[in-house]
Structures are given as C-alpha cells and as structure tokens.
Structure 1
Amino acid sequence: MARPVGFDREQVLADATKVFWAHGYFDTSVSKLVDATRLQPGSLYAAFESKEGLFLAALDHYAGQSLARLRKILGDAPDPLQGVRRFLEEMAEADPEAAVRGCFLVNTVLEVGRRNAAVQARLRQHLTVIEHELAEALNEARAAGLLAPRKSPGELAKFLMATIWGVRVLGSTGAGADDARTVLGMALSVLDA
C-alpha cells in the first residue's frame, strides 16, 4: 500500500517556484529547495523524481496561474478586444520589483533554452496555450466586428506574444514602466481598425 502524501503539494510548488524564479534552474541547489519547501530530499525525490521533475512541475504551476489570470481578465472584460488590451496594459502597471524579476517562463527560455529538451518542450506547450487564448479572443473580436476582417488573429497573437517576451526582458533590465507603456502602446495600436 502506498504511503499517503504528507505535504501540501500546491504550497511546495509555490515555494519551489519562488526559488527557481529567483535563482534560475542551474543555480538552484537541492539544499535551497529543501530549505524553501521544508521537505527532506527523499520526499522531494519521491514526489517529483528529480530536480528537473520539480522544475517542470513548478513551470506547470506558474503557467497554470498565468493562464487563469489571462482567462479572468478576458472573461471580466466587456468585450474580447478590451480583454486583450487589459491583459497587455497590466504588464505595464507591474511594480518595479516584479518587472525586474521578469516572467518565470521567459526567464527559463533565456536561461535553459535549448539546453534541456524536456524543459524546452514544456515551455513551448505553455506558451502555445497562452498564444492560443489570445488568438481565440482576437478571433471573437473579429467576429464581433471589433477587429478589422483583414487582420489575422493568429498572426496578431504571435506578434503580441513576441511583444510580451520583449517587454518582460526589457523589464528585467530595470527599464521603467514608461518604457513598457511605450512598447505596449505601439503593440496595441496594431489592434486598431
């Protein structure tokens, strides 16, 4: 009979995500994870199999929260186009500390990139889901006459994703909110009819 899990998995993932986000994958030691999660190494390995397994679970945890936030913003907006605009505008409103910390997914792309196929595949999966959500919202906006028929929702979503990545990297350099607003304002202008 398997032993029941004796810890709060969501809390462990939240704690591990903070450590990986602050230090990156390569500079995060198992001892840092043990300190943050208050689990012994054996328990971490039993639950996640490896540091990489815990990292992938942390990426899933973060991406799930990001997707839920995007869906809430889109769902709360009076129309899909305003939802997309609001999602991007919120990035410019991030506090300076959050902007410098950057996006965990984008930071991981920059740090790990092609060095780990499993991480790369997981990143692509999560980023594709976010892009798809944006494309769906833009498709709904076009169907409602809020977006010009000549504009491709899929292409716009790819463009907006690239802009998001750029703004996240820009923020991690210490650039201010004014710079983020300028870039995002230019990106949002492509949505105008």
Structure 2
Amino acid sequence: MARPASFDREQVLERATATFWDHGYCATSISQLVDATRLQPGSLYAAFESKQGLFLAVLDHYAGRTLQRLERQLARATDPLRGVDAFFAELAGQGGDARRRGCLLVNSALEVGRSDPAIQAHVSHHLAAIEQRLCAALERAQTDGLLAADASPAVLAKFLMTTIWGLRVLGSTGADARTMKQVVAQALRVLRD
C-alpha cells in the first residue's frame, strides 16, 4: 500500500509554477524542480509521474487561479462590462515580476505548443475556458442592453483573448503599467462602441 503524500500539494505547485515561469518548460531541469519544490526526485515522480506531468498540473493550477480572478471580478461588479473592465485593469496593473514573466499559458503555447500535443491540449483547454467565461459575460451584457444588439459576443471574446495575449507579451518586453493601462483602455472601448 502506497503511503499518502506528505507534502502540501498547493505549495509544491506554487514553487514549481515559479520555476517553470522563470525558466520555461524546456530549460527547467528536474534538479531545479527538486530544489524548488523541496521534494526528493522519487516523491516528485510518485506524485506527478514526470516533468511533463508536473507541468500539466502547474498549468491546471495557474489557469485555475486566472479563472478565479476573472470570476471574482465579474461577481464583484455591478454589471458584466464593469467586471471585464476590472479583470483587465488587474492584468494591466500587475507590476514587477508578474508583468515581466508574461502569461504562463501564452509562454507555454509559444515555447512548446507545437511540439508537445499534451501541453498544447492543456493550454488550449484553459484558454478556451477563459474565453468562454468572457463570452458568457458579454452575452449577459448584451441581454442587459449594455452591449450593442448587433455585436458578436463570441468575436468580442476572441478579441479580448487576443488582447490578453498581446498584453502579456507587451508586459514581458518591459512595458510599464501606464502603457499597459492605456492599451487596455483603448481595447475596452470596443465594447462600448
């Protein structure tokens, strides 16, 4: 009978996320992950089976947090468009390392998306979940009369996802918070035209 895991999975995923985010999937070694997570190699493999297995768990963890932030902003807002605004303001306002690191999902899609079908499927699944949630918010805004009747929530959600990707890449190139906020303001005008 296998012993139960004697580590805090959340903490291990946080540390592994930081390591993969800093170095990328390909450049991250098992020894770096062992050092970061403070797990022995055997424990790491027992819990996640492989470096790829750990990375897929990290993507789930990261995407779950992103979706929670979106859900939180939508729930707090007085209307769906304000919720979308708040989510994008939060993205634009991220400073320091968070901005320079970019988005782990975007980084992963660009780094290994074409060469690793399992990672690509995970990234695509998580990006689609975020897009679907944005689309649902825009559909609600349209029903509430806040979005033009002839607007396409699906196309606008795709546009917002493209904006997120662009913001994350822009941030990773060193753009400051002021620039990020200006880009967000310009992009969100589309929802009100």
Corresponding position of 1:150: 150
**What does 1:150-189 correspond to in 2, within 5 Å?**
150-189=150-189
The Cα of 1:182 is off from its aligned counterpart by 2.5
Superposed structure 1 runs of 4+ greater than 6 Å apart: none
The Cα of 1:3 is off from its aligned counterpart by 1.6
TM-score normalised according to structure 2 size: 0.97
1:87 aligns with 2:79: no
Q: Percent identity?
A: 61
Structure 2 stretches lacking a partner, 5+ long: none
CA deviation vs aligned residue, 1:60-115 (integer Å, no higher than 9, x gap): 00001111111001100011111011111222211133211111111111211201
The Cα of 1:172 is off from its aligned counterpart by 0.3
Letter in 1 for 2:108: T
Q: Which moved more, 1:117-126 or 1:92-101?
A: 92-101
Q: Distance in 2 between matches of 1:15 and 1:97?
A: 15
Structure 1 stretches lacking a partner, 5+ long: none
1:59 aligns with 2:64: no
The Cα of 1:178 is off from its aligned counterpart by 2.6
Q: Which moved more, 1:150-159 or 1:174-183?
A: 174-183
The Cα of 1:51 is off from its aligned counterpart by 0.3
Letter in 1 for 2:54: L
TM-score normalised according to structure 1 size: 0.97
Q: Distance in 2 between matches of 1:164 and 1:4?
A: 39
Q: Which moved more, 1:91-100 or 1:63-72?
A: 91-100
Coordinate RMSD, CA, aligned? 1.0
Corresponding position of 1:101: 101
Q: How many residues align?
A: 193
Q: Distance in 1 between matches of 2:96 and 2:160?
A: 22
The Cα of 1:177 is off from its aligned counterpart by 2.0
